[in-house]
Each structure stands twice: as structure tokens, then as C-alpha cells.
């Protein structure tokens, strides 16, 4: 599902990041750990085809991303990847339902209010459909953002620091939601975090793959 070999990315006039090899099957859970600045977010961007590798090979959901052109990358990403960023990026001018409809529009998918309601219901926030993001609590906003990320039933769910700034109870809730949603959809789940609590929150029955990153020397 996600396979990398000698993967690297060079920032213009910046550091060159070289990543450990990864081979993760469909439906697995992958935890990326390491301190801030070690390249976890860059690795997520590579897997989501937001940037292209400068060395090595990268295959995600049977698609080689090394030579994927911009328009093709956008179309592939819309169907294959669900992304929960650390900053949730909900549009403040749109309702919750409209934020999800925007994701459908961006992917070229016809607006489907029934699918939006199903996604919101699965995350327990269907009653918030007509609210604006400013009217949501932090936990509610995260659930809405996750509903948006999985609305199109992606093969891979990427979560960037989903427990940052959360207390223990909220962190456990966030991890539980990610695991339950990925399992329900049969998706591969990748969580990038420097929070040691995330590994401890993995249920006994979940065999999570763990890859540690370090800052470039």
C-alpha cells in the first residue's frame, strides 16, 4: 500500500531529508515518530503527492508517485488520500456541511448531501451540519475535519500531529476516532507525531508499524 525505497527530499537552499524505507500493507497502521523538524510532515506531503521526491522511489495505493504530473496528482489524491492536517483549515465562511461539499467539489465529485450526512453521522456530528466552524469546540472541529478527510472513502488516511495540544482524554478520543474510522473503511492509517502518548494509546489488538525519524545531520 505504501512502499518507499531510499526516499529523499531536498528543500531549495535547505536541508536534504533522507527517510527510512517503509513497506506498509493495506489496512495497516503506521506511526511516524520523531522530534519537530525531523521531516514527518514532509514525508506526509510526499505520500499525498503534494511534493515530488528528489531521490528514491515512492508507491502509494499501487500508484508510483515519482513521475505523477500536477493535474494527475490532484485527481489521484482526491480519490486515494484523506488528510487530517494539524491546522484543520475549515473555511470559516461555510457551514460544516458546505465544508464537506467543498471537498466533493474539489475532487470533481457531484455534491452528495446524503454522503455528507453519513460521514458526519459516523463521526457523531450530524447535528452540527448547519453550524459555522467558529461555533464548534476544538473536539467538534476535529471530528468535522476527519469527516471531510474520509468523505470520499480514501485508501489512505494521513494524520499530522492529531493529538497536539490535547489533554489526555481528548488525545485518547482523537486516536480512537482515527483507528475506528480507518478500520470501518479498510483504509491504511498513518499518524505522524512526536507525542509519546499515541503509541501508548494503541489497543492491544492493533499491530502498528513504527518508524522513527531523526533530524538531518
CA 37 to CA 71: how far, in whole Å? 29
Element at 42 (helix H, strand E)? helix 40-47
Whether 160 is covered by a domain: the verdict is yes
Q: What integer pLDDT is reported at residue 215 of this predicted model?
A: 81
Whether 12 is covered by a domain: the verdict is yes
Residue 204, pLDDT > 90, answer no
Mean pLDDT, all residues of the chain: 94
State pLDDT tens for residues 69-92: 888 999 899 999 999 999 999 999
State pLDDT tens for residues 141-179: 999 999 999 999 999 999 999 998 899 999 999 999 999
Whether 23 is covered by a domain: the verdict is yes
Residue 115, pLDDT > 70, answer yes
Q: Which three cell numbers stand for residue 164?
A: 497536539
CA 157 to CA 24: how far, in whole Å? 13
Q: What integer pLDDT is reported at residue 24 of this predicted model?
A: 95
Q: What integer pLDDT is reported at residue 217 of this predicted model?
A: 64
Whole-number percent of the chain with pLDDT over 70: 100
The whole domain housing 43 covers: 2-212
Least confident of 38-47, 173-182, 207-216: 207-216
Whether 217 is covered by a domain: the verdict is no
Whether 131 is covered by a domain: the verdict is yes
Q: What integer pLDDT is reported at residue 216 of this predicted model?
A: 76
Q: Compute the average pLDDT of residues 112-119.
A: 97
The total number of structural domains that make up the chain: 1
Contact assessment for residue 132 and residue 168, using Cβ atoms and an 8 Å cutoff: no
CATH of the domain at 80: 3.40.50.300
Buried b (16+ CB within 10 A) or exposed e, 129-165: beebbeebeebbbbbbbbbbbbbbebbbbbbbbbbee
Amino acid at each position: 500500500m505504501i512502499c518507499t525505497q531510499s526516499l529523499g527530499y531536498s528543500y531549495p537552499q535547505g536541508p536534504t531529508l533522507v527517510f527510512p524505507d517503509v513497506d506498509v500493507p493495506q489496512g495497516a497502521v503506521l506511526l511516524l515518530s520523531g522530534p519537530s523538524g525531523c521531516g514527518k510532515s514532509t514525508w506526509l506531503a510526499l505520500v499525498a503527492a503534494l511534493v515530488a521526491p528528489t531521490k528514491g522511489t515512492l508507491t502509494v495505493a499501487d500508484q508510483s508517485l515519482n513521475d505523477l504530473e500536477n493535474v494527475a496528482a490532484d485527481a489521484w489524491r482526491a480519490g486515494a488520500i484523506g488528510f487530517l492536517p494539524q491546522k484543520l483549515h475549515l473555511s470559516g465562511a461555510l457551514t460544516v456541511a458546505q465544508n464537506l461539499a467543498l471537498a466533493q467539489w474539489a475532487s470533481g465529485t457531484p455534491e452528495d448531501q446524503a454522503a455528507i450526512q453519513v460521514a458526519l453521522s459516523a463521526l457523531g456530528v450530524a447535528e452540527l451540519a448547519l453550524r459555522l466552524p467558529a461555533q464548534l469546540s476544538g473536539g467538534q472541529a476535529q471530528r468535522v475535519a476527519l469527516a471531510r478527510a474520509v468523505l470520499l472513502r480514501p485508501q489512505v488516511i494521513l494524520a499530522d500531529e492529531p493529538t497536539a495540544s490535547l489533554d489526555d482524554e481528548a488525545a485518547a478520543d482523537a486516536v480512537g476516532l482515527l483507528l475506528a474510522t480507518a478500520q470501518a473503511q479498510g483504509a491504511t492509517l498513518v499518524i505522524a507525531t512526536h507525542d509519546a502518548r499515541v503509541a501508548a494509546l494503541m489497543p492491544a489488538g492493533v499491530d502498528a508499524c513504527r518508524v522513527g525519524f531523526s533530524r538531518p545531520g
